[in-house]
Structure 1
Amino acid sequence: MSAAPLRKIGEIASYHAHIYFDPDFGRAAALALQGAIADRFAVRLGRAWDRPVGPHSRAMYQVAFAPPLFSSLVPWLMLNNMGLSILVHPNTANPRRDHLHDALWIGPALPLAGEVLPDDQVADLAGEPNTTPHTQP
């Protein structure tokens, strides 16, 4: 049995962080975290969904960010997650692998409905940020 070929970091077009919350009891903390992210990082913030969406089993919002932000945003989320579960995954040409195999969790891991994710598609780029940070991380 031969080992799979090593993949190149250049496959990663961008990253997503999915921040999960309970819409009845944790929405305020999740939105406070969203505001703190917006104040500090040039990211694209998604809308807060108060119900499961796509493969996500809980209410959440998405934070899209470019690869150079990984080394500052992810450690900041590790220290400032407010007790929330956060999935961080790369965006390559394989969304199923990105979410299920190449991801990392901050806080407790939650179930994902991987069967709804395609095995291949054009990678989602981080896009233009929707915020101009004004405080230091």
Structure 2
Amino acid sequence: MRFPQNIYQRYHAHVYFDEQSLDKGEFLYSQLQSLPEYQLGRFHQKLVGPHTKWSFQIAFTRDQFDQLIPWLERHRQGLSILVHGNTGDFYQDHTEHAYWLGDEQKLNLKMS
């Protein structure tokens, strides 16, 4: 497993949770809300996009990477987090440009 590297201009991180880990997801989301420098997406208790678990997204930049990634690693409480470059190439961003904090989760990358 590769640890995220700061090589892109923009990034997304997707935090995954389910019914059993909902409280951990809610807690992490609430902690991130107190850090206004990061752009938080909606807290989804449904499947969205290629994600096969409930999730929320964090958008951030290269300048924020070196602070956010270690913070997420320390605070993820066993949750899996997909970190990927946001280059505009959907497939590459979720495969070649992707790294994991925690266990890798299966994604639905079928292009429709």
Q: State the TM-score, normalizing by the size of structure 1.
A: 0.71
Please give the per-residue CA displacement for 1:73-111, whole angstroms capped at 9, x wherever unaligned: 001111111110000001103121011111110010000
Q: Secondary structure at the match of 1:114?
A: coil
| C-alpha distance in structure 1 between counterparts of 2:57 and 2:36, whole Å | 14
| C-alpha distance in structure 1 between counterparts of 2:110 and 2:58, whole Å | 22
Which of 48, 52, 56 does residue 47 from structure 2 map onto? 52
Alignment map for 1:89-128 (pairs within 5 Å): 89-116=84-111
Q: State the TM-score, normalizing by the size of structure 2.
A: 0.86
RMSD: 1.5
Q: In structure 2, what is the equivalent of residue 15 of structure 1? A: 11
Identity of aligned residues (%): 37
Amino acid at match of 2:37: A
Alignment map for 1:23-102 (pairs within 5 Å): 24-40=19-35, 42-102=37-97
Q: Secondary structure at the match of 2:100?
A: strand
The ranges of structure 1 where at least 4 consecutive aligned residues each deviate by more than 6 angstroms after the TM superposition are: none
Amino acid at match of 2:26: L
**Partners of 1:17 and 1:62 within 8 A in 2:** yes
Please give the per-residue CA displacement for 1:29-55, whole angstroms capped at 9, x wherever unaligned: 111111112223511111111121111
| C-alpha distance in structure 1 between counterparts of 2:28 and 2:111, whole Å | 28
Please give the per-residue CA displacement for 1:12-44, whole angstroms capped at 9, x wherever unaligned: 34111100001x221121111111122235111
Amino acid at match of 1:111: K
| C-alpha distance in structure 2 between counterparts of 1:47 and 1:40, whole Å | 15
- Select the structure of larger CA radius of gyration: 1
Aligned residues: 106
Q: Secondary structure at the match of 1:37?
A: helix
Q: Secondary structure at the match of 2:13?
A: strand
What displacement does 1:116 show? 3.0
